[in-house]
Structure 1
Amino acid sequence: MSFVTAFTDKFYAVLICKSKSDTEFILETEPRSLGKISAGRQMVEGKINLVGQVIQNTDEVWNLKTNEKDFENKLHSFDWVDDLAALSSVEARQFAQNWLFSWMKKYSSGVGPGWTPELTGRRLVRWVHHHLFLTQGFSEKKLKKFNLLLARQAKFLSKRAMKTSEGLPRFEALLGLIYAGCYLKNMEKFIEPATVALADECHHLINSEEIVFSRNSQDILNIFTILIWAKLALKDSNWNPSVTHLETIEKLAPVLRNLRHSDAGLPRFHGSCGDVDGQLDQALSNAESRKTSLSETSVGFAKLSNSRTTVIIDAAPPPMGKKAVKADASTLAFEMVSGQRRVFTSCGPGYLFGSDLSLVGRQTSSHCAVYIEDRNSSEFSSVEGWFKASKKMIINGPSTVPKEISNHEGAGIFEGAHDGFVQSYGLTHVRKLKLSQDGYTFEGEDLMIAIEDSHKRQFDKVSKKNRNDQLSVNAAFHLHPNVVVRLDQENNRISLALKNGEVWIFNHGSDLRLQLEPTIFFENGLFEPLESKKLILSAGLLEYGTRIKWSLTRALDKDLS
């Protein structure tokens, strides 16, 4: 967001909040945003963690000084109301009302970080979803002020929704404006311009690289959910969504269906935390579309799926540029899920626990990927912003990522390669993954190879420079925290026990070194990252070609899930 845009937002917010407005609900809607009962219970008990910011004194939450933009967004969007409404106890309602009253007292004049179009849209939607929960027991005076602020936020969105950043922020702002028009008295005039603007955004989204750019599956799901909620709101008010709006839903549904793991979650790449608490299945159900993707990949992700086992691979170059500040160096990394249990996963988005950890989960070594020494397959660099803390973005990475998905006797086979190590070591990473027809065997073969003469010269140059210390190539396999690891050194194998009773056996070539090391798992809603384990297979870099072979086989099936 530019300085001029931010200043203009503040100007309109203050100006509109000086005007007199009046509204009330003309329609009620069910709460469509889902929360976690466990998270709501923690908040009521005083255990509050919003995107890495632990809050000790809940009464002073709106006075906290922080440079954490993700925390401010979470707080001022009122997303946390979803969790309290899911709990729906008297204590949860009192907690939500206390925070609501404090926000109304401090920010009703249009000041503060919450008066941006995207945050205002998110906040208005939560107020509409949970207005009965939030306003129960209100005095007439408090209810009048609540409705007054709803009207002011609607008018602010009517002026600024189309001025915010393209992509998810603009969709969030437009949804708030559509909700205001559909559910609030005297706001019906906003429905038509908002639906026209939404159709324009849908057209831009589908006919540009915007949806592919970030490759954050959770952002794609959030946009899809917004389109579903907008469709339902318009139908509540007897308005027909635009053809472009409905066509966009039809196009996004198969993309998300292809990104869906067997546990109803999403892959944990490029800022997505994977665990979406039923949001994906609910949105797909409301989409009323049963189309499946005919493409081998969806927004750069390839998928192998047999029986109840899914494998999703990051099979495209990483997002680059200033907008891709959550992109991972994860080319050719994979995740594996068996039924409802995650087996191999990624560390996930460290930004959930503050900016200090934001880069941790983005490294190549933080994924089920192959790397040389501790080098990333992509290069990170800092980007500075006006009055903002610097962020890391990818400025250089794999440019060529050929891939192919085939089927042999019912087994799904993925073959891909990337050139992320050619410039530094002269080596191309080639990965082959195979999932058996019954989903019980998952095999992998990784090859680091110098292909062209120029690549071999680069490899010779690096080898000569490091002739006293042999370079090593490493294949990392990050395990979900719920996986119990047992190492059988005598038989050179590892057993992985899942909570549902399944046991998987991990085997590897006898020429490889195996290490079991600690790793970290970032999950939304927790106070601190979870500890877990990772398997590291290592081999010395041999002349122009090094191979790592491994397999995972289900040995015992006591599926209690």
Structure 2
Amino acid sequence: MSQPRVPRGVGAMNRLQARLCGLTRPMTVLREMPLPEGAGDPDRGQELVEGHVHLAGVTGNGADLWEIPAPNANFEAARQGFGWLDDLSAAGTPRARTLAQTWTLGWITRFGRGGGPGWTPELAAFRLGQMLSHAEILLSGAAPEEVSRALGRHLLFLRRRWRAAPRGLPQLRAINALLKAKAFVEGAEVSARPLIRAAISDISAILTPEGGVASRAPDDLFAAFRALSDLRAAIAALGLAPSEDLDRVLTRSGAILRAVRHADGTLARFHGGGAGDPAAIDRALAQARLRGGPAQGLAMGYARRTAGRSTLIVDAAPPPTGPAAGSAHASTLAFELTSGRRPIIVSCGTSVDVDADWRRAGRASLSHSGLVLDGRSSARLQPETDMLTDGPRDVPAKLSLHGGSLRFEGGHDAYVAATGLTHARILDLSPDGRGLSGEDLVVTLDAAAGAQFRRALANTGGGGIPVQIRFHLHPDVEASPHPDGGVILVLPSGERWHFDHDGHAELTFAPSVYLEAGQREPRPTDQIILTGRATGEATRVRWQLTRTPDDHSVTRDLIAAALPLVPA
């Protein structure tokens, strides 16, 4: 959770209304206890009990959350949003319950009458939703009246200030919090119909007409889908007529959400997005009660191919521009591959839980499983603004069947201006999902590109323009050289895969990292690199990744897992 940027006048009015609400003494009576919505982490909950507070990539130590100095605005927003209640609830111990009550009362004592940095509509909506979700714990503590009054003040504040939330997802979350209060708080003075009309009329600020999100980050899509699904559930809980417009939007975005999931239920990790929580995604899709499978063709710029136990997802579009470029990745034509519940080829990813330097590094082309030409990213990260610029403009892509295999073909022009070379990639997933073959080609497409290539080649002294094709491995994959060449990859499930190439490049190992939410430090892993040089106007490298025929492993993931694989 990041701290929303609040215009000066809006912030002053938020503070004024918060203080006015703080002068009231409303009592809140719940007609029933809501069920918790978030899926907390019991291990992180236990860490909180032990005094180790890890929020927004920063660790603070102390028994009192509110006495820990906030190192940055994101840390402050995370603790003000009360997301830590999910983890303490998941821990489930008496000490964790007591700490949840103590920290909540600590917030009420310090900020409950309108002070502090947390009185924005978005953060107030997060807090109200969390306090309602965990009301059973909070109201069983030493001061239930104070918690009840805090709920009432939040409800009053949001009734007055929800329109001041930024358009799009922040405003929708404020509306959802009010509707949730309407459903569970006895006598809540909330006019539901105008709120619902406002939310539905503003869907275009959240989703594109196709049902995706402008950032192209799969977990941003999930956040939007979950909020809209919550809106639909609130409408049903209040006994109001369903919205056909909302149903259509959820159907479109749900199909795209399914199309950016691997077989293990995780999300493709592109453009600032993490893998997500498969159980939470399953719950949101189940709550929406949608029919149908993943979107066909390109979905939000991603190509998904599935066969057998394997899922291949390719970033097949230019990176986002405009405000969304602040989290975009230089990942065009990079791919991820999963077998059953086990990721094999991944992106390094990014996470708010690591420092800014690691987050920037995770956005570069070098951190994705794709081709890098002359050591350059396919888009440029501006050091002053962290915006991604100068990315590819023309990214043709095609999905087809080829000799029974599921084929992806794509190309991009990011390197044409500097080298004259266009990158083209062909990926073929075998019908049984046991093999992925790839062909990477850098080629000049016209006379002007040929002239530019010759100039770039001359700058190398004729030695050729460096070409690298990277394959980042998931940390759980064990890699070792094969006696006959190539690399053997062993998955935790026991599956064995053989990586090899056509000999037109040099194969090397190198260290890599894997960044993920909840991990304070990058996880070490490996990458396979194919290195060559472009000395002519067409340079081609072929490679293949094949599940070995002597692999007699029992697919232990299927036996041990509690949830089925995500359907194709």
For the 8 Å contact 1:171–1:223, the answer to whether it is kept is no
1:96 equivalenced with 2:90 (yes/no): no
For the 8 Å contact 1:32–1:229, the answer to whether it is kept is no
**Equivalent position of 2:506 in the other structure:** 513
**Equivalent position of 1:415 in the other structure:** 409
**Equivalent position of 1:59 in the other structure:** 64
1:479 aligns with one of 461, 468, 473: 473
Equivalent position SS for 2:389: strand
1:78-115 CA-to-partner distances (Å, cap 9, x unmatched) read: 11211221221112112222221222122112232322
Structure 1 residue 242 displacement after superposition: 2.7
**In 2, distance between residues paired with 1:280 and 1:295?**
20
- The alignment's C-alpha RMSD in Å is 2.0
**In 1, distance between residues paired with 2:12 and 2:314?**
42
Structure 1 residue 292 displacement after superposition: 2.8
Structure 1 residue 60 displacement after superposition: 4.8
Q: Where do residues 39-188 of structure 1 align in structure 2 (5 Å cutoff)?
A: 39-67=44-72, 69-136=73-140, 138-139=141-142, 142-188=143-189
Structure 1 residue 188 displacement after superposition: 4.2
C-alpha spacing 1:403/1:101, structure 2 compared with 1 (3 Å):
same
Q: What is the letter of the counterpart of residue 85 of structure 1?
A: S
Structure 1 unaligned blocks of 5 or more: 384-390
**In 1, distance between residues paired with 2:167 and 2:403?**
45
Structure 2 unaligned blocks of 5 or more: 558-568
**In 1, distance between residues paired with 2:123 and 2:314?**
33
C-alpha spacing 1:131/1:315, structure 2 compared with 1 (3 Å):
same
Equivalent position SS for 2:343: strand
Q: Where do residues 156-555 of structure 1 align in structure 2 (5 Å cutoff)?
A: 156-202=157-203, 204-206=205-207, 208=209, 211-382=212-383, 391-467=385-461, 470-488=464-482, 490-555=483-548
| Of 229-238 and 146-155, the range deviating more from structure 2 | 229-238
**Equivalent position of 1:22 in the other structure:** 27
For the 8 Å contact 1:412–1:436, the answer to whether it is kept is yes
| Of 52-61 and 201-210, the range deviating more from structure 2 | 201-210
**Equivalent position of 1:31 in the other structure:** 36
**In 1, distance between residues paired with 2:188 and 2:325?**
36
**In 2, distance between residues paired with 1:395 and 1:505?**
37
Give the TM-score, by structure 1 length. Answer: 0.93
| Of 458-467 and 202-211, the range deviating more from structure 2 | 202-211
For the 8 Å contact 2:511–2:525, the answer to whether it is kept is yes
Equivalent position SS for 2:323: coil
Instruction: Work out the number of aligned pairs and report it.
Output: 549
Structure 1 residue 271 displacement after superposition: 1.4
Equivalent position SS for 1:335: strand
**In 2, distance between residues paired with 1:487 and 1:317?**
35
Q: What is the letter of the counterpart of residue 493 of structure 2?
A: N
**In 2, distance between residues paired with 1:548 and 1:113?**
55
| Of 272-281 and 237-246, the range deviating more from structure 2 | 237-246
Q: What is the letter of the counterpart of residue 89 of structure 1?
A: T
Equivalent position SS for 1:220: helix
**In 1, distance between residues paired with 2:211 and 2:356?**
25
C-alpha spacing 1:211/1:170, structure 2 compared with 1 (3 Å):
farther
Structure 1 residue 560 displacement after superposition: 1.2
Structure 1 residue 207 displacement after superposition: 5.8
1:338-371 CA-to-partner distances (Å, cap 9, x unmatched) read: 0000101111114321323220110111010111
Equivalent position SS for 1:538: strand
1:282-311 CA-to-partner distances (Å, cap 9, x unmatched) read: 111122112234541111111010111101
Q: What is the letter of the counterpart of residue 149 of structure 1?
A: A
Structure 1 residue 272 displacement after superposition: 1.1
Structure 1 residue 382 displacement after superposition: 4.3
1:9-64 CA-to-partner distances (Å, cap 9, x unmatched) read: 33332333233433221232221221222322333233432221012223254541
**In 2, distance between residues paired with 1:83 and 1:361?**
27
For the 8 Å contact 1:487–1:493, the answer to whether it is kept is yes
Q: What is the letter of the counterpart of residue 119 of structure 1?
A: L
Identity %: 31
Q: What is the letter of the counterpart of residue 5 of structure 1?
A: V
C-alpha spacing 1:471/1:17, structure 2 compared with 1 (3 Å):
same
Structure 1 residue 536 displacement after superposition: 0.8
Q: What is the letter of the counterpart of residue 463 of structure 1?
A: L
For the 8 Å contact 2:176–2:227, the answer to whether it is kept is yes
C-alpha spacing 1:295/1:7, structure 2 compared with 1 (3 Å):
farther
| Of 11-20 and 22-31, the range deviating more from structure 2 | 11-20
**In 2, distance between residues paired with 1:28 and 1:213?**
36
Structure 1 residue 8 displacement after superposition: 3.1
Equivalent position SS for 1:517: strand
**In 2, distance between residues paired with 1:47 and 1:466?**
53
C-alpha spacing 1:152/1:74, structure 2 compared with 1 (3 Å):
same
For the 8 Å contact 1:16–1:152, the answer to whether it is kept is yes
C-alpha spacing 1:287/1:305, structure 2 compared with 1 (3 Å):
same
Q: What is the letter of the counterpart of residue 116 of structure 2?
A: G
Equivalent position SS for 2:293: coil
**Equivalent position of 1:388 in the other structure:** none
**In 2, distance between residues paired with 1:62 and 1:320?**
40
